[in-house]
Amino acid sequence: MHNFQAAISEVNGDRSNYRYSLFTKAFNQYGKCKSAVDFKACIFQPRDEIRGMIARTYLYMSDKYKTNLSNQEKKLIMAWNKMYAPENLECKRNAHIAKVQGNDNKFVTGRCTQ
């Protein structure tokens, strides 16, 4: 359950399986949702508020299931994990999933107990 996240369906559909990136400061595709998609380059820029959560989800999946991340992806998600600390809701969600599923996301737990 650690890799399930709520998402706006249009934004999620447009993101497809594009790689995460930082490429713009103009956000006009999704109203007040400050996310962007570059369909030609096949990249997606999530809004600031969810970058840390995305990073910790990717770190969990990479660690637990040995999913491959490119060097560029690793650098980006490591930076996002460092820059965007988990908020209280993410910490509570992680604890709840740990009770239900039997394991925590150590990348969240480690940042919530600091």
Residue pLDDT, tens place only, 50-96: 999 999 999 999 999 999 999 999 999 999 999 999 999 999 999 99
Helix segments in 46-105, DSSP class H: 48-65, 71-83, 88-101
Tokens linked to 68: 């491959």
pLDDT at 44: 97
Residue-averaged pLDDT of the chain: 95
Judged against a pLDDT cut of 70, whether residue 114 lies above it is answered with no
The arithmetic mean of pLDDT across residues 18-26, rounded, is 95
Whole-prediction pTM value? 0.92
For the chain, the first-to-last Cα distance in angstroms comes to: 23
Of 10, 11, 34, 87, whose CA–CA distance to 56 is shortest? 87
